[in-house]
Amino acid sequence: MAQLRRQARVPSQPPATTTTPTPPPALDVRGVRKSYGATVALDGVDLVVEPGTIVGLLGRNGAGKTSLVSVVAGLLRPDAGRVLVDGVDIAHEPRRARALIGLAPQDTGVYLPLSVRDNLRFFGGLSDLHGRERATRIEEVGAALMLDELMDRRARDLSGGERRRLHTAIAVLHRPRLVLLDEPTTGADVQTRRELLRLVTNLSREGSAVVYSTHYLQEIEELGAGVALIDHGRIVARGALDELIRQYGSSALELSFTGAVPPAANVAGSRVTGTTVRIATDDPAATAALVLGGLGAGASSLCSMEIVRPTLESVFTTLTGQRLSREVEPAA
Amino acid sequence: MSSARRLGTIVAHELRLARHDPVSIMVLLVFPVITIAFLKPAFRPALVEGGFTHANGAEHVVPGQAVMSAFFIVSLVTFSFFSEHGWATWDRLRASRATSFEIIAGKSLPRIAIGIAQLGVLLIAGVVLFGLHIRGNGFALVPLIVTFSVCLVLLGVAVTALCRTAQEAGAFAYLGMVLFGAIGGAFVPFDLLPAWARAIAPLTPTYWAMRGMRSVVLDGQGLGGVGLPCAALAGMGIVFAFVARRRLRFDETKSGWA
């Protein structure tokens, strides 16, 4: 997919001297590998993210999301491959590349003894923001994330959601070309989640590229983001949400029983996991009628039946053989 | 942005954090003053017996307690690194434009300044409050204080590099303070130490700091009296810097407090 996107940018005619050169992608990851001892975290990852777009990096815990974010941010050195941020190789020009990145790591990282304003001032200062420009930017970001009335409060005295907003504000303070948000809504309340999603949308409108690592499918759908599905350290699918659902999404009928799945429910296209059977089908209603009719006495052990429509969840299941929503409940 | 400006940003930030930690001021200044008040009379006989008939006890206790408590700087340095891990800000710092050198220097410079200020304030307090009489040139103590502070800060960076957890670093710094203080002659005068302790004392920074102090305060020497101690402390500082350079890994996961 990444290669197709690259090819799409190649001009159809030989470039003339007046042709404006194609701007580089905000992020261009090629063949990145990273292992921790015998454990392979990233197994040849390719990923291209264009300016002004949001890519939801979706995967289960341990799939490689945080490793990939860390490699892109320059926190981890890959064993192989290269990472270009806005055309700058992070391995060769780390400081120049870092200046283009805004990182909000998975764990909320703020200086607890300092006020919200002092936290923002410090990281603003490290990002070459000073004086009036920094003060203005702090006010803008504070307002965008509803921190404006908390500026003089110590981070220690903030609620979890307020800290999370400060954590994200630090990442976007210097208007980075590439924003890396690693599980940004983990533990966030409803309001914080809403504000963060709004911020991400606005960032992309302003031209920043956003890599939004999460395992909350619902957030990706709400953002209308492009999707990169990562599993066992590989990008297994990359594309627009609708495109992926059309390509990989499938309807299914899922039946759960109090005991073993009756043989009558084990029809063509079914997959049994414990006491649940999932039947892939283009016509779930007809399949339900067929299976229920065939259950006979086995119907007494049926405890639930669900028609699964094509969603990102079903795409994930099709590609990885696992359900993401079983691992984690959606954010509040 | 120039490296100097970024360094200045980190230094100002570290000083801001230090302001929120009043316990450090207690340990560095208040506790030694209290200890000096209690111990001063006990050391007068020992000094008089050693031939310093004019001494009132402050000539050993003030420098000794100042040097002992200055060792707390080692803890402050390790804390400044490990607290970043506790607050989960370490990765943010690494992902910023600041270089490794700027981060280390930005954390070290304020602690060097604190060490210099602490030793200076305690010696002045010794003169004003406890009748400390400096027989030699008091300004000769300036290079000694600076070198000792730099040496302690570099030791702190080396301890940070060697330890994986804040508890390890805290224990190491505390043990260093007590052991080096005792062996180096900050607790009791060097002449009263057992022979085995006197044999290994020159391996400690405390010994050289106390030797330089004694040269100026009791023996009445000037810059010439602190030359060798300053050189020894500088040499130890280079060793600590070398250890830190070899062992400090910025991508290492450490368990910190916050």
Could you read off the pLDDT of A254-274 as tens digits, one per residue?
899 998 888 888 888 788 888
Extract the tokens encoding A22: 């194609």
Chain A contact for B105 (CB, 8 A cutoff): no
Q: Is residue B37 scored above 80 in pLDDT? A: yes
What confidence tier does A9 reach under pLDDT thresholds 50, 70, 90? Answer: very low
Please tell me the distance in Å from B122's CA to the nearest CA on chain A: 28
For residue A308, give the 3-state DSSP assignment: strand
pLDDT beyond 90 at B149: yes
* Min distance B77 CA to chain A CA atoms (Å): 17
Q: Considering only the beta carbons, identify the residue of A99, A118, A122 that sits closest to B97.
A: A99
* pLDDT tens profile A241-256: 888 888 887 788 889 9
pLDDT by residue (tens digit) across A142-192? 999 999 999 999 999 999 999 999 999 999 999 999 999 999 998 888 888
Instruction: Name chain A contacts of B13, Cβ cutoff 8 Å.
Output: 122, 125
> Binning pLDDT at 50, 70 and 90, where does residue A19 land?
low
A95 CB neighbours in chain B (<8 A) are 97, 99
Give A3 to chain B, closest Cα distance, Å. Answer: 28
Yes or no, beta carbons of A122 and B87 under 8 Å apart: no
Does A10 have pLDDT greater than 50?
Answer: no
- Which residues, including other chains, have CB under 8 Å from residue B9's CB and lie 6 or more apart? A122, A125, A126, B106
With vertex at residue A185, the alpha carbon angle to CA A181 and CA A186, rounded to the nearest 5 degrees, is 105
Residue A81 has pLDDT above 70, yes or no: yes
Beta-bridge mates of residue A36: A39
Q: What is the pLDDT of residue A93?
A: 94
pLDDT in tens, B107-122: 999 999 999 999 999 9
Q: How confident is the model at residue A114 (pLDDT cuts 50, 70, 90)?
A: very high
Lowest mean pLDDT among A51-65, A285-299, B50-64, B191-205: A285-299
Q: Which helix (H) or strand (E) holds B18?
A: helix B3-19
Reported confidence tier of residue A296, pLDDT bands at 50, 70, 90: confident
- Inter-chain CB proximity B97 and A127 less than 8 Å: yes
Query: Minimal Cα–Cα distance from B187 to chain A, Å?
Result: 35
Contacts of B6 in chain A (CB under 8 A): 125-126
pLDDT band at residue A330 using 50, 70 and 90 as cut-offs: very low
Q: Are A127 and A107 in contact (CB under 8 A)?
A: no
Query: CB distance B9–A110 less than 8 Å?
Result: no
Mutate to test the interface with B, among A103, A126, A133, A156 (most CBs of B within 10 A): A126
CA–chain centroid gap for A178, Å, is 14
- Res A95 pLDDT > 50: yes
Contact of B109 with B11, CB cutoff 8 Å: yes
Query: Distance, in angstroms, between B245 CA and closest chain A CA?
Result: 19
* A126 neighbourhood in chain B, CB within 8 Å: 6, 9-10, 93, 96-98
Give the predicted TM-score (pTM) of the model: 0.83
- The per-residue pLDDT of chain A, averaged, comes to 87
As a whole number, mean pLDDT of residues A324-331 equals: 51
Instruction: Give the closest residue to B62 by CA, choosing from B114, B132, B117.
Output: B132
Which residue from B20, B95, B99 is facing A103, i.e. has the nearest CB?
Answer: B95
Average pLDDT for A227-237: 93
Q: Which residue has the higher pLDDT, A290 or A310?
A: A290
Average pLDDT over residues B158-177: 92
Q: How many CB atoms lie within 10 A of CB A56?
A: 26
Lowest mean pLDDT across A90-94, A217-221, B232-236 = A217-221
State which amino acid sits at residue A201.
T
Indicate the pLDDT class of residue A4, thresholds 50, 70 and 90: very low
Strands of the sheet with A209-214, listed across from one edge: A101-104, A178-182, A209-214, A54-58, A226-231, A234-239
Tell me whether residues B97 and A170 touch, CB distance under 8 A: no
Q: Band of the pLDDT at A15, cuts 50, 70, 90? A: low
Structure tokens at A303: 């405890």
| CB B17 within 8 Å of CB A115 | no
Q: What backbone phi and psi angles, to 5 degrees, belong to A296?
A: 60, -130
The per-residue pLDDT for A3 is 40
A109–B98 CB contact, under 8 Å: no
> The tokens of B122 are what?
């305690």
Q: Chains A, B: CB contacts under 8 A, how many?
A: 69
Using 50, 70 and 90 to split pLDDT, how confident is the model at A325? low
B23 lies within 8 A of chain A by CB: no
Inter-chain residue contact A123 with B94, CB threshold 8 Å: no
Q: Which residue has the tokens 């392979």?
A: A40
pLDDT bucket at A139, cuts 50 / 70 / 90:
very high
Amino acid at B46: A
